[in-house]
Amino acid sequence: MVQIFGTAKSPGTMKALRFFKERGIKPQFVDLQRRAMAPGEIARFVQKFGLSALIDTGSKSYERLAYLRLSDEALIQRLLDEPQLMVQPLLRLGATLTIGWDEAVWRNWYQHQRRVG
C-alpha cells in the first residue's frame, strides 16, 4: 500500500498522487491540513532521515521560526501543527519511506511490485 502524507496545496504532493494514479495504483492520501500525522508515524520519518530533513527551509512557516530556539519535541509538534513547514510529500511504500519528490525510488518500488505481484 502507498500512503502519501501532504497537503492538497503542495505541488509535490499532487505530483506524487498523479505519479501513482497514472500507474494504476490508488494511494491512500492523508491530507495533513485535515488530519495530523500520528506521533509514531512522524517518528519513523525522523528516525530514518533526521528531523532537519523534514523541515522545508524555503517555506514561509520556516522564516517565521528563524528567531525561535525549539527543542526537538517542540519542533516535531510544530511540524504536526503546521504541515506547510514540512517537506512534502512524505511517502510510505510498505516498509520504504521517502521524503520529497523521489521518482527513482518510486519507480524501483513500482517495478518490484509488478514483478512480485
Predicted confidence (pLDDT) per residue in 8-20, tens digit: 999 999 999 999 9
Mean pLDDT of all residues in 21-48: 95
pLDDT at 112: 86
Residue 69 pLDDT level (bands cut at 50, 70, 90): confident
91 forms beta bridges with 4, 98
Cα separation, 87 vs 116, in Å, equals 31
Cα separation, 96 vs 94, in Å, equals 6
Q: Of 33, 91, 35, 82, which is closest to residue 55 (Cα–Cα)?
A: 82
Cα separation, 116 vs 100, in Å, equals 26
Residue 117 pLDDT level (bands cut at 50, 70, 90): low
Predicted confidence (pLDDT) per residue in 83-92, tens digit: 999 999 999 9
Mean pLDDT of all residues in 14-30: 96
Q: What is the DSSP-derived secondary structure letter of residue 9?
A: T
Q: Of 20, 7, 6, 9, which is closest to residue 107 (Cα–Cα)?
A: 20
Domains of the chain, first to last: 2-116 (3.40.30.10)
pLDDT at residue 58 tops 70: yes
pLDDT at residue 74 tops 70: yes
Residue 66 pLDDT level (bands cut at 50, 70, 90): low
